[in-house]
């Protein structure tokens, strides 16, 4: 069944796109509660029922006005339609009619014994982001943007939960989570489909590389996607509390993410993919130096992704520099350091490094030294972006966005002729705001 957007829907999208997004920090998401009650979840649903359409609307508008005909590429149109359809589904979901008492109670913050009223802590500016770096609004909405942190505190808050809530609230929460689930699945293939759109554009225009405009659009677009999926994933997990019996989880956030365990797993996965890809009996070795006690609050899925992508790059460089038939490869070292502000992971390989002139290129989407970009099968849409050994040129730029999303960063220093050091900084204060879209 094909879906078409109406003019009326586009008007509503334009209206929502005139409001700025409200950033939420990792700490705020966790303070919001391990097992939120029906009333608290309802408040969060209400917040998201406004916040997600605002974020989706910005993306639809931007996708539709991309320069140089990029907006006309079939895959780009497909992605824009997914965003518009999801916008429609959230904004048309009927909300329960509540009587005055319930409405007032929903606005009363919970009192936590010994702690007073449970307003969330303020988000602090994200240290890795210059103001407006990932913002598509070009500072036209300053009046609104200034108020963004108090807004997050107002909406994303625990409510007074003494006594029962009317059944409509619970019903709405369930319906809302179901809608979010459907949306999340619809958007699974966004990264691959957008990559396909860029390929279509590069072929049509006979371009080798994308220009700065498109590069910064993609940065904004994928950063926004990380944020949207984080909010959606967190809300679904909090509504369906059966998944996370583990005490250290709040939704998809793990308050005790043990770096050594995750790094070990990423090393095994990257070596496995490397052995498989090059037909090696044994992939180059990776040495891990990490105090087993190091842990912090993070989203384990994000950390695994970044480690896996950077380790794969190192293994590929080592194998290709020293030759596949070599018996003994130089060992890649992964060193984890714990500071007050950051946990830093350094990945040092002896894979020959990268020429200085190519360093800016490694951060651009679709830059890869793989000769033939693997064909993007349209059926691939269904799954999330799972890269093979290499080939799309998305590994580094996307990993850097994941790092920056929670106030960290990813840096790369190379010694051409010897090897590369990648520094993955992870901000452990967890109070920094999302880069706003
Ligand atoms: N550790 C490294 N040593 C040498 N070259 C590297 C290293 N890491 C990255 N590169 C270079 O940077 C390019 C881009 O890396 P990136 O991870 O973004 O994409 P990719 O590995 O080619 O593809 P994929 O999207 O599948 O990860 C690589 O093709 C490679 O040439």
252-280 per-position pLDDT tens digit: 899 899 999 999 999 999 999 999 999 99
CA distance 125 to 386: 32
Report CA(368)–ligand 1 centroid distance (Å): 6
Least Cα distance to 278 among 375, 352, 388 occurs for 388
Give me ligand 1 centre to Cα 422, in Å. 11
Please report which confidence band the pLDDT of residue 236 belongs to, taking 50, 70 and 90 as the band edges.
very high
Which of 408, 407, 422 minimizes the C-alpha distance to 347?
422
- Please name the residue whose Cα sits nearest to atom 12 of ligand 1: 362
Residue 206 corresponds to which tokens in the numbers above?
């006979």
> Whose C-alpha lies nearest to ligand 1, atom 21?
390
Query: E strand or H helix at 82, and its extent?
Result: helix 74-91
CA of 310 to the centre of ligand 1 (A): 8
Q: Which of 196-200, 265-269, 283-287 comes out lowest in average pLDDT?
A: 196-200
Q: Considering only CA atoms, which of 156, 139, 135, 130 is closest in space to residue 25?
A: 156
Site to probe by mutation for ligand 1, drawn from 315, 356, 362 as the one with most ligand atoms within 8 Å of Cβ, is: 362
395, 410, 415: which to mutate for ligand 1, most atoms within 8 A of CB? 395
Please name the residue whose Cα sits nearest to atom 26 of ligand 1: 390
* CA of 362 relative to ligand 1 center, distance in Å: 7
CA proximity to 196, closest of 204, 308, 61, 370: 204
Active site positions, annotated = 305, 309, 312-313
Residue 76 · residue 194 · CB < 8 Å? yes
Computed from CA positions of residues 367, 368, 373, 378, in that sequence, does the dihedral angle turn out positive or negative?
A: negative
Give CA–CA dist 233/236, Å, rounded: 5
Residue 140 is predicted with a pLDDT of 38
Checking if the pLDDT of 244 tops 60, the result is no
pTM metric for this prediction? 0.86
pLDDT digits (tens, 9 = 90+) for 121-147: 666 777 777 766 666 554 333 333 333
The CA 239 to ligand 1 mean position distance, Å, reads: 38
Distance CA 285, CA 271 (A): 8
Sign, CA dihedral 173-80-216-392, equals positive
Q: Which tens digits make up the pLDDT trace of 330-354? A: 999 999 999 999 999 999 999 999 9
Residue whose CA is closest, atom 11 of ligand 1? Answer: 362
Residues forming a β-bridge with 288: 334
> What residues are in contact with ligand 1 under a 6 Å CB criterion?
309, 313-314, 317, 349, 351, 354, 362, 367-370, 387, 390-396, 420
User: How many angstroms is it from 393 CA to the middle of ligand 1?
Assistant: 6
The residue whose CB lies within 8 Å of the most ligand 1 atoms, and thus the one to mutate among 319, 368, 400, is 368
Sign of CA dihedral 379, 383, 384, 389: negative
Residue 188 DSSP label: G
369 CA closest ligand 1 atom index: 29
Q: Name which of 152-166, 304-318, 345-359 the model is least confident about.
A: 152-166
Nearest CA to ligand 1 atom 19: 393
Distant-in-sequence, close-in-space partners of 436: CB < 8 Å, separation ≥ 6: 20, 21, 22, 23, 134, 135, 145, 148
């Amino acid at each position: 069944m094909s879906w078409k957007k109406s003019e009326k829907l586009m008007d509503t999208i334009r209206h929502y796109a005139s409001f700025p997004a409200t950033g939420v920090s990792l700490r705020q998401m966790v303070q919001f509660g391990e097992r939120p009650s029906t009333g608290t979840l309802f408040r969060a649903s209400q917040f998201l029922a406004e916040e997600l359409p605002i974020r989706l609307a910005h993306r639809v508008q931007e996708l539709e006005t991309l320069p140089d005909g990029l907006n006309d590429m079939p895959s780009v149109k497909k992605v824009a339609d997914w965003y518009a359809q999801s916008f429609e589904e959230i904004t048309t979901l009927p909300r329960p009619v509540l009587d005055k008492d319930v409405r007032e109670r929903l606005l009363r913050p919970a009192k936590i014994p010994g702690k007073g009223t449970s307003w969330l802590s303020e988000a602090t500016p994200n240290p890795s982001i210059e103001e407006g770096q990932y913002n598509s609004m070009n500072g036209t909405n300053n009046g609104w943007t200034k108020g963004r942190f108090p807004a997050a505190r107002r909406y994303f808050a625990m409510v007074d939960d003494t006594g029962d809530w009317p059944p409509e609230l619970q019903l709405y929460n369930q319906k809302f989570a179901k809608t979010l689930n459907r949306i999340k699945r619809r958007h699974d293939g966004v990264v691959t489909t957008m990559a396909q759109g860029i390929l279509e554009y590069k072929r049509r225009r006979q371009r080798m590389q994308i220009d700065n405009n498109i590069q910064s659009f993609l940065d904004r677009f994928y950063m926004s996607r990380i944020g949207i999926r984080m909010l959606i994933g967190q809300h679904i997990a909090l509504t369906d509390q059966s998944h996370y019996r583990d005490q250290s989880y709040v939704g998809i956030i793990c308050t005790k993410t043990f770096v050594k365990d995750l790094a070990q797993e990423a090393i095994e996965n990257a070596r496995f993919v490397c052995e498989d890809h090059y037909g090696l009996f044994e992939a180059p070795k990776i040495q891990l130096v990490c105090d087993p006690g190091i842990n912090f609050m993070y989203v384990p899925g994000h950390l695994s992704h970044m480690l896996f992508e950077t380790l794969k790059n190192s293994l590929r460089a080592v194998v290709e520099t020293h030759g596949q038939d070599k018996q003994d490869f130089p060992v890649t070292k992964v060193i984890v350091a714990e500071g007050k502000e950051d946990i830093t992971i350094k990945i040092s390989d002896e894979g020959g490094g990268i020429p200085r002139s190519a360093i800016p290129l490694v951060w651009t989407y679709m830059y890869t030294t793989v000769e033939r970009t693997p064909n993007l099968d349209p059926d691939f849409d269904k799954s999330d972006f799972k890269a093979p050994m290499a080939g799309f040129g998305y590994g580094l730029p996307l990993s850097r966005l994941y790092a920056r999303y929670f106030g960290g960063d990813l840096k790369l220093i190379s010694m051409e002729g010897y090897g590369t050091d990648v520094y993955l900084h992870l901000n452990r204060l967890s109070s920094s705001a999302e880069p706003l879209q």
